[in-house]
Amino acid sequence: MTNVTRPIQVLIPPRYCATKAKRLWVRLLGWVAQTLRPVEITRQGQASLILVPANTFEALIRHRDPWSDRRIILRERLFRPNGLTPGVEHRWPQQSSTGVRDSLQDTLDWVNRCNLPLLVTRRGRSGLLMMSIKLFQENWRVR
């Protein structure tokens, strides 16, 4: 029996510059949610960020992450941000899709500075996570 080595899988996500991403924001979010593939948002002279489906990211890290102490359980009687349902555990700081689009550069700076994923909530739809390249590479597991 021969020992066959498996080829290394390299993920190169589609790239959009921040200016173009802001203009196409709603379509970009829809594409990421539908295909379950990450997208890289580039910025001139600064580090890129990655946008991934929150559910896919959570399934891939499987509670082997440094954010376990940040879990928040939403109660039925409290206001629910877009796309979040009570009883589901969420551990991420969050901002609405509209808020992110309206202040995209500030949001991208915050994500890089804090080195935490940001949950982008969408009315009635599952959320997406925006994170730094470093966090993405450390935690994304290709299936």
How far apart, in whole angstroms, are the C-alpha atoms of residue 117 and residue 131?
Answer: 5
How far apart, in whole angstroms, are the C-alpha atoms of residue 49 and residue 41?
Answer: 5
25-37: pLDDT as tens digits: 999 999 999 998 8
Q: What is the pTM of this model?
A: 0.77
Q: 79-88, 101-110, 112-121 — which one is most confidently predicted on average? A: 101-110
Residue with the bigger pLDDT between 60 and 34: it is 34
In 3D space, the residue among 70, 69, 12, 63 whose CA is nearest the CA of residue 42 turns out to be 12
How far apart, in whole angstroms, are the C-alpha atoms of residue 132 and residue 50?
Answer: 6
